[in-house]
């Protein structure tokens, strides 16, 4: 049985974690996530949804941690920690996490690697690794600080506490909170809006925001200028400008 289901809804790829009961992130599941990310890199895919049910992902496979410790091994002898989240993050198109139930530890790290996080009102998220005597190892300390700020990230990583969806929204960790039975439809609708948009410009926005964040202003402005110059002559840019001048709806083709 596949641990990650991959399907297409028009130009939207839907990546669904499928390791009941809580989608614990085993090494095999992480490998399949990377394979799904590779499939979603296809030009015909113009937006991506990452989800899981009834839980997004309740974290790493702790039994695998214990087995590695008992064997005297490091936490990830094949150096796969974090690569699954990075593969999702590097997709050059909008990626939305549709989060229901638990998104804890590596599950939250995966959600934070997405561009947007839409949460069901029953979602519970957090970085509880500290309660095991360890810390986030797939980007949690770094992405969380960039999303919610230094002090709040420090508090959450030190306490390991769970946040409900509404608190997550209040601190900027969730972009939208909706009833659970509306989550997937709402997320897919937004993904289809992105899929009809200027894909290369979306990729440039992601590069500019992430690449310039934390740099001195002059260096960050260089990153932005290079991204701007890179899309100025694209077919979508020409179409967008022409549509504005002609007072019509732009027909972007993602090129």
Residue numbers annotated as active site: 109, 129
Beta bridge partners of 171: none
Q: Is 13 helix (H, G, I), strand (E, B) or coil?
A: strand
CA distances to 47, 65, 123, 133, 141 from 51, rounded to whole Å, are 13, 24, 12, 28, 22
Q: Which residues neighbour 21 within 8 Å (Cβ) at sequence distance 6 or greater?
A: 54, 55
CA distances to 97, 120, 199, 253 from 205, rounded to whole Å, are 18, 27, 10, 17
Q: Which residues neighbour 88 within 8 Å (Cβ) at sequence distance 6 or greater?
A: 33, 37, 48, 50, 95, 110, 113, 114
């Amino acid at each position: 049985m596949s641990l990650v289901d991959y399907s297409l809804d028009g130009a939207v790829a839907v990546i669904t974690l499928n390791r009941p009961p809580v989608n614990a992130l085993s090494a095999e599941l992480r490998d399949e996530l990377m394979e799904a990310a590779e499939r979603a890199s296809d030009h015909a895919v113009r937006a991506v949804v990452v989800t899981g049910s009834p839980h997004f992902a309740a974290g790493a496979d702790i039994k695998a941690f214990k087995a590695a410790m008992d064997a005297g091994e490091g936490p990830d002898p094949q150096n796969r920690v974090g690569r699954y989240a990075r593969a999702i993050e590097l997709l050059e198109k909008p990626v939305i996490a549709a989060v229901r139930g638990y998104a804890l530890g590596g599950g939250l790290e995966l959600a934070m690697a997405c561009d947007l996080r839409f949460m069901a009102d029953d979602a519970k998220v957090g970085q509880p690794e500290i309660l095991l005597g360890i810390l986030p190892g797939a980007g949690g300390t770094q992405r969380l600080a960039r999303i919610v700020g230094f002090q709040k990230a420090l508090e959450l990583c030190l306490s390991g506490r769970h946040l409900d969806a509404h608190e997550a929204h209040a601190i900027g960790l969730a972009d939208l909170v909706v009833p659970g039975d509306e989550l997937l439809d709402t997320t897919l609708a937004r993904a289809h809006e992105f899929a009809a948009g200027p894909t290369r410009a979306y990729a440039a926005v992601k590069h500019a925001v992430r690449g310039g964040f934390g740099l001195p202003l002059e260096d960050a402005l260089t990153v932005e200028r290079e991204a701007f110059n890179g899309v100025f002559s694209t077919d979508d840019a020409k179409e967008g400008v022409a549509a504005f001048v002609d007072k019509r709806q732009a027909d972007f083709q993602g090129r």
